[in-house]
Amino acid sequence: MKLKKLVMLSSILLGLTPLCLGQNIKGSPHDFTRNTASNSSGELCIVCHAPHGTDATAVPLWNHGTTTQIFSTYIGYKFDALPSITAPDGASKLCLSCHDGVSAMNQFGGHANGTSAPGPTYLGVHASNLGIDLTNDHPVSFVYNTALATLDGALKDPSTATTSLGGTIATDMLDINSKVQCPSCHEVHDQTIYRFGKISNAGSALCLTCHNK
Ligand code: HEC
Ligand code: HEC
Ligand code: HEC
Ligand code: HEC
């Protein structure tokens, strides 16, 4: 009994430790201090955030150029949220300001605009480039609420269903406007879980957090 408890406790601790340590951006693909040609400041956050003088139209304290591309959004064939999906907004727009394959990585500071000529540091034709055609990517920038869950029939109710992070889908994974965005599945600052995962997708646990399949 005692041993069982100990094993349980240590696996809980092991599971939680990376989350408690939180910030794990150093040495990750999002650590731009290694790219001294475009970031000679030696600072980790500056490529994306600054304490002052940031782009007032992009939160939080966004210091990178934002994409001005026109994206094709997800259509599907029985996608119930279709009427509410919009062009990428919120945090998804921030991610796509590098991951659209057009915007330059090194456009930051001074309200730089991401559309200027892609430098050597842009993603180009790379797996990390989602491109501007998002019809083949999991939908983002649409409202996921109780009404959608009821309509769909195979989605959990975001206001009551819990996640392995301790809260509900709404509090842990949706943005302030109840929208699914890239950070619903990714934690941009932490590479502990494969591909900046927010929740491990082992056994499709990430997918099953929201989908009742
Ligand atoms: C590659 C770009 C990038 C880098 C580098 C980055 N961030 Fe972020 N950060 C984001 C994005 C995108 C969001 C909004 C999405 C979200 O909340 O996950 C965000 C959100 C935040 C937030 C608000 C939400 C939260 O998690 O509390 C804080 C605070 C923050 N970042 C701090 C930092 C600090 C401090 C650093 C440097 C150690 C840093 N960030 C480095 C992209 C970045
Ligand atoms: C400042 C530019 C920038 C921003 C903003 C940014 N990324 Fe990235 N991201 C990159 C680069 C560069 C790479 C590395 C690509 C490579 O290795 O070729 C990367 C890699 C990744 C990877 C792959 C990680 C791996 O293990 O290979 C994921 C997933 C990712 N980003 C998700 C996001 C998400 C989600 C956001 C927004 C919340 C975001 N990124 C914001 C530049 C950015
Ligand atoms: C529904 C969950 C979900 C959403 C939403 C999501 N991703 Fe991902 N993403 C994943 C998972 C899971 C992987 C890992 C796939 C693998 O490698 O097996 C991944 C992988 C990636 C990669 C690594 C390259 C690749 O193709 O494997 C990048 C870059 C990325 N995502 C960026 C984004 C961006 C930018 C957004 C928002 C426009 C986004 N993701 C939205 C779940 C999601
Ligand atoms: C944060 C919650 C969330 C997570 C995590 C998530 N999804 Fe979704 N997903 C949704 C919502 C909400 C919809 C919209 C369903 C609709 O309106 O028909 C959706 C749509 C989809 C669709 C399109 C359905 C259609 O009718 O076209 C597929 C396929 C899908 N998700 C698969 C996945 C997979 C695979 C994963 C794991 C990698 C995943 N989802 C993770 C919330 C999530």
pLDDT surpasses 90 at 10: no
**Which of 179, 196, 199, 206 is the best mutation target for the ligand 2 pocket, counting ligand atoms within 8 Å of the beta carbon and taking the most?**
196
Residue 195 burial by Cβ neighbours in a 10 Å radius (0-12, 13-18, 19+): exposed
pLDDT at position 5 is: 47
**Which of 74, 132, 186, 211 is the best mutation target for the ligand 3 pocket, counting ligand atoms within 8 Å of the beta carbon and taking the most?**
186
pLDDT surpasses 50 at 103: yes
- From ligand 2's centre to the CA of 16, what distance in Å? 24
C-alpha to C-alpha distance for 35 and 42, rounded to whole angstroms: 9
Average pLDDT over residues 64-84: 94
Average pLDDT over residues 83-91: 97
pLDDT surpasses 70 at 91: yes
Choose between 23 and 122: higher pLDDT.
23
Contacts of 111 (CB under 8 A, 6+ apart): 55, 65
- Core vs surface per residue 140-167: b (16+ CB within 10 A) or e: bbbbbbeebbeebeebbbbeeeebeeee
pLDDT at position 52 is: 83
pLDDT surpasses 70 at 61: yes
Contacts of 173 (CB under 8 A, 6+ apart): 158, 163, 165, 180, 184, 185, 198, 209, 210
Query: What share of the chain in percent tops pLDDT 70?
Result: 79
Average pLDDT over residues 152-161: 98
C-alpha to C-alpha distance for 18 and 68, rounded to whole angstroms: 35
Binding pocket residue ranges, ligand 2, CB within 6 Å: 29-30, 47-48, 64, 91, 94-95, 97-99, 105, 123, 126, 128, 182-183, 186, 188, 195-196
The token pair at 189 is 């600052």
pLDDT at position 81 is: 97
Choose between 202 and 63: higher pLDDT.
202
Average pLDDT over residues 44-48: 88
Look at ligand 2, atom 32, and give the residue with the nearest C-alpha: 188
pLDDT at position 126 is: 56
Distance of CA 60 to the CA centre of its chain: 13
Model confidence band, residue 136 (pLDDT cutoffs 50, 70, 90): very high
Q: Determine which of 100-104, 172-176, 191-195 has the lowest per-residue pLDDT on average.
A: 100-104
The token pair at 51 is 């304490």
pLDDT surpasses 60 at 18: no
Average pLDDT over residues 82-94: 97
Look at ligand 3, atom 13, and give the residue with the nearest C-alpha: 195
Binding pocket residue ranges, ligand 1, CB within 6 Å: 23, 25, 30, 44-45, 47-49, 60, 91, 94-95, 183, 188-189
Query: What share of the chain in percent tops pLDDT 90?
Result: 53
pLDDT at position 46 is: 87
